[in-house]
Amino acid sequence: MQSELSIVWIYPDLLSTYGDQGNVLVLEQRARARGIVTRTVHVRSSDPVPRDGHIYLIGGGEDRPQILGAERLRRDGGLHAAIERGAALLAVCAGYQIMGSVFGGEEGQPVPGIGLLDISSGRGERRSVGELAGEVDPALGLPMLTGFENHMGVTRLGPGVRPLSRTVVGTGNGDGTEGCYAGKVIGTYLHGPALARNPALADLLLSSIVGQLPPIDDSWYQRLRDERLAAVLPR
Ligand code: GLN
């Protein structure tokens, strides 16, 4: 296990909608509950992305900050270097789209992504707003995903990634799936924030770096999940 777990929060000044910063807090809290010392670095878009972090997080945002964020990340190169070194990444919504080869700009124009995931996004016909629930890829062994989505984008998955879940409620990628993953890189449309609504996803990220984790008291998380899932799932 690492002596200190380094969490990197990318571009909070550009990309952090609907409480995405909560993902950082959940990772910190769940690591510390296991006795893991954490250090969090907030990387503003004017600063270089450190290459030696363990878990990277990037959030959602409006179209223009998304374009700016993609340009800066591409020019910086630090995130690519970190992933090549074995770091994990959770990318949400705008951040998720940025990880692909291309996404739709504010007029629907194609904007290059940074190519960390084999996906391509464009602008859909209408905005997808609301609760989402999805059955997670059985290979990951996680309970149902729950979250909130608000995006115009639709995302096509290439053969280099697997869908994170199959949607039961909501739009996600737009083809009956939601999000995707490849190795330690996870992309999702889910806000809420995603890790507060899905603590097992937080533990998946943590354990991809530090190994097996002992269980902790999840009763507050469970109450939130029960309440949100009961609100959307058919009885
Ligand atoms: N601008 C992107 C879209 O509408 C991402 C939105 C978001 O991050 N919530 O698809």
CATH code for position 111? 3.40.50.880
Q: What Å distances lie between residue 132 and 46, 174, 203, CA to CA?
A: 34, 12, 20
The pLDDT, as a whole number, for residue 15 is 96
Pocket residues: Cβ below 6 A from ligand 1:
17, 60-63, 66, 93-94, 150-153
Give the chain's mean pLDDT: 97
Q: Which residue has a Cα nearest atom 1 of ligand 1?
A: 63
Query: 16 alpha carbon to ligand 1 midpoint, in Å?
Result: 11
Report phi then psi at 77, rounded to 5. Answer: 80, -10
Residue 138's Cβ-count burial label (10 Å; 0-12, 13-18, 19+) is: exposed
| Atom number of ligand 1 nearest to Cα 104 | 10
Report phi then psi at 164, rounded to 5. Answer: -70, -40
Q: Which residues contact 208 (CB under 8 A, 6 or more apart)?
A: 88, 184
Q: Summarize the annotated binding site for substrate as residue ranges.
A: 127
The pLDDT, as a whole number, for residue 224 is 97
Separation of alpha carbons 12 and 170, rounded Å: 26
The pLDDT, as a whole number, for residue 100 is 98
Q: Report yes or no: 38 and 28 within 8 Å, Cβ to Cβ.
A: yes
- Domain membership of residue 172 as a residue range: 5-232
Residues with catalytic roles: 93, 191
Query: 131 alpha carbon to ligand 1 midpoint, in Å?
Result: 15
What pTM did the predictor assign? 0.97
Query: 178 alpha carbon to ligand 1 midpoint, in Å?
Result: 14
Q: Which residue has a Cα nearest atom 8 of ligand 1?
A: 60
Residue recorded with tokens 């009961």: 230
The pLDDT, as a whole number, for residue 70 is 98
Q: Give the mutation target among 16, 17, 66 for probing the ligand 1 site: most ligand atoms within 8 A of CB.
A: 66
Separation of alpha carbons 234 and 231, rounded Å: 9
The pLDDT, as a whole number, for residue 203 is 98
Q: Summarize the annotated binding site as residue ranges.
A: 127
Q: Report yes or no: 186 and 178 within 8 Å, Cβ to Cβ.
A: no
| Atom number of ligand 1 nearest to Cα 15 | 8
Total structural domains within the chain: 1
Report phi then psi at 42, rounded to 5. Answer: -95, 115
Which residues in the chain land under pLDDT 70? 1-2
pLDDT digits (tens, 9 = 90+) for 203-216: 999 999 999 999 99
